[in-house]
A and B are shown apart, each in its own frame.
Chain A
Amino acid sequence: MSTPSRWARLPIATLYLVAAGVVLELAPAAAARFIWERGAIAAGEWWRLLSGHLVHGSRALAGTDLSTLLVLSAWWELRSRARLAAILLASALCASAALWLSTDYARYVGSSALSSGLAAAAALDGLRSGRRGLALGGAAALALLAGKWLLELGGSLPTSLVVLPPGTRVAGAAHACGGLGGLLAAWPRRSRAERQAEVRALA
């Protein structure tokens, strides 16, 4: 029986995802084709609802957002690539829907809605792990995330780690709905095959 190679255990999808974010940051012309922009989406460029979550428009914002995404996404990919894809898709779509329906923003930048979804899903995973310490940690993380989203939605908490470019403000709705999307995608319990794959990957 062959053992998986060292390369097979790399979170390849995560590395591609983060690399795409870096490229879009370094190539503003390309970013302009993929940014979340209300007018362009209304004109039929639907891919921006997903691709917009990888455009940052500021080196500082890209640095903190992509670093967080790298860790959270790799954590999930090492457990289940399919679950990672589901969480990312649900987070991006929920955040985009919230931005479209409940805000007046002309544009949106940043990947933290994806990180919000991944973090919430990881907290839910811990809560349902069946181990006391992990369950308590997961519950505490979920409570903290929910509190943060509520404060952001109320506009009471300036939460960004970096100074945002002029004319930009933290979109609390994207964080909250991205997080809820992640919870929805992580809600179905993982199949036996997924859990076995995780054990193999982490061994």
Chain B
Amino acid sequence: MNRMRLLGLLLLTGLSGCYTPSSMRRAEVLDFLYPAGTEVVPPSDVHLVLPLRVGLAFVPSNERPGDTPRGPRPLLDSLGEVEAPELHESQRYALMQRVRDSFLKVEGVQRIDIVPTEFLRPGGGFQNLDQLRALMGIDLIALISYEQVQFGEVNAGSMAYLTGVGGVIVEGNANETNTFVNTTVFDIPSRALLFHAAGRSHVDDGSTALELNDKLRGDSGQGFQEAVDAMVGQLDGALAEFREQSKSGTVRGLGTPAIDVSLAPGYTGAGACGALELALALVLVAAGLAARRSAP
């Protein structure tokens, strides 16, 4: 009887697990721009010539497969190896297109080029960005960095896994996915940070032991999508703030690089009607119709 109690206790300890990082993937902008040992050069003054050509890229990750830190993992993880997949190129492209769409509306931006990830080296720094500038003819670079952590634990339902069939039909795993993405826009020639916008998301999900990997992969994609949506919502505000700030002649206030904006030769001005003119026109039509109806 004592042996049975001991076995039960061990099983419960293994099954209950504890909230520990199951997997983490990240690519940080500072790791890319200033790898260890790089001398930090202060940014110089910014001179923007409109229209701008902007590059958009995911920061390359420094981590290799298998580098993801892991804490002690629940006993039943072994039923399905929890290996969070790296964000693959098609996912990156889809996410970048959404960011690109929001930049396309920005007045003064001529072109936005999505930069394939293989064009950037981990820790490539500004030398790598200078190469991109020469290769693609871009003035600014918008770097998307990210960090995603997925936690997994087993709940009381996981006791059913011991039956074998339970691993297929009972959701004994509780998964949590936290995602943070950040877009940082730099002027490449001056090395100056112009503005940034961030977004985050939190996804809770449950799964059976059998579908654990699929669920984690789905949560990962959902996490990135929601975080990018939140980030895109912030981009407009960050850009408007940058515009206002740049009118004072500096990038981000006193002590930051000076900024001036000029037009490239051949720039076109547009007399484009706004909502106000259109509304006035509609009011005149409505007033005219009302006057005609009320006329005897």
A binds B: yes
A98 to B263 alpha-carbon distance, docked (Å): 17
Does A196 reach chain B (CB closer than 8 Å)? no
Chain A residues in 8 Å Cβ range of B283? 137, 141
Category for how many chain B residues contact A? 35 or more
A103 to B29 alpha-carbon distance, docked (Å): 38
Chain A stretch 186-203: residues in CB contact (< 8 A) with chain B: 202-203
Report the interface size for chain A: residues with CB under 8 A from the other chain: 57
On whether the beta carbons of B51 and A166 are closer than 8 Å, the reply is yes
On whether the beta carbons of B284 and A71 are closer than 8 Å, the reply is yes
Point out the residue from A95, A160, A167 that lies within 8 Å of B272, measured CB to CB. Answer: A160
* Smallest CB separation, B29 vs chain A (Å): 27
Binds A, one of B100-108, B136-144, B178-186: B100-108
How would residues 95 to 123 of chain B score, 1 for a CB under 8 Å from any chain A CB and 0 otherwise? 00000000011011111000000000000
* Smallest CB separation, A171 vs chain B (Å): 3
A103 to B272 alpha-carbon distance, docked (Å): 16
On whether the beta carbons of B268 and A167 are closer than 8 Å, the reply is yes
* Smallest CB separation, B11 vs chain A (Å): 62
On whether the beta carbons of B266 and A167 are closer than 8 Å, the reply is yes
Point out the residue from A104, A115, A123, A169 that lies within 8 Å of B108, measured CB to CB. Answer: A169
Does B9 reach chain A (CB closer than 8 Å)? no
Does B280 reach chain A (CB closer than 8 Å)? yes
Does B87 reach chain A (CB closer than 8 Å)? no
On whether the beta carbons of A106 and B276 are closer than 8 Å, the reply is no
Does A174 reach chain B (CB closer than 8 Å)? yes
A203 to B285 alpha-carbon distance, docked (Å): 16
Interface hub of B51, B110, B247, B277 (most chain A Cβ within 10 A):
B277
* Smallest CB separation, A62 vs chain B (Å): 10
Does B6 reach chain A (CB closer than 8 Å)? no
Binds B, one of A26-34, A41-49, A80-88, A151-159: A151-159
Q: Given that A155-B243, A160-B274, A161-B274 are contacting pairs, would A168 and B269 also be in contact in the complex, using a CB cutoff of 8 Å?
A: yes
On whether the beta carbons of B271 and A110 are closer than 8 Å, the reply is yes
Residue of A nearest to B246 (CB): A155
* Smallest CB separation, A141 vs chain B (Å): 6
Q: Given that A68-B278, A119-B280, A167-B51 are contacting pairs, would A108 and B271 also be in contact in the complex, using a CB cutoff of 8 Å?
A: yes
Chain A stretch 34-84: residues in CB contact (< 8 A) with chain B: 53, 57, 61, 64-65, 67-68, 71-72, 75
On whether the beta carbons of B273 and A112 are closer than 8 Å, the reply is yes
A169 to B104 alpha-carbon distance, docked (Å): 13
Residue of A nearest to B291 (CB): A202
Chain A residues in 8 Å Cβ range of B255? none
Does B282 reach chain A (CB closer than 8 Å)? yes
Point out the residue from B109, B278, B284 that lies within 8 Å of A75, measured CB to CB. Answer: B284
Does B162 reach chain A (CB closer than 8 Å)? no
* Smallest CB separation, A202 vs chain B (Å): 8
Chain B residues in 8 Å Cβ range of A8? none
Point out the residue from A71, A109, A173 that lies within 8 Å of B268, measured CB to CB. Answer: A109
Q: Given that A75-B288, A161-B273 are contacting pairs, would A105 and B278 also be in contact in the complex, using a CB cutoff of 8 Å?
A: no
Chain B residues in 8 Å Cβ range of A162? 272
Does A107 reach chain B (CB closer than 8 Å)? yes
A103 to B295 alpha-carbon distance, docked (Å): 48
Point out the residue from B108, B273, B276, B285 that lies within 8 Å of A145, measured CB to CB. Answer: B276
Q: List 25 contacting pairs A-B, 8 Å CB cutoff, sorted by A.
A: A61-B270, A64-B273, A67-B281, A68-B277, A68-B278, A71-B285, A72-B281, A72-B284, A105-B267, A108-B268, A109-B271, A111-B271, A111-B273, A112-B272, A116-B277, A141-B283, A148-B276, A156-B244, A160-B273, A161-B272, A161-B273, A161-B278, A167-B267, A169-B107, A178-B271
What 5 pairs between A and B have smallest CB-CB spacing? A171-B269, A110-B271, A159-B274, A160-B272, A105-B269
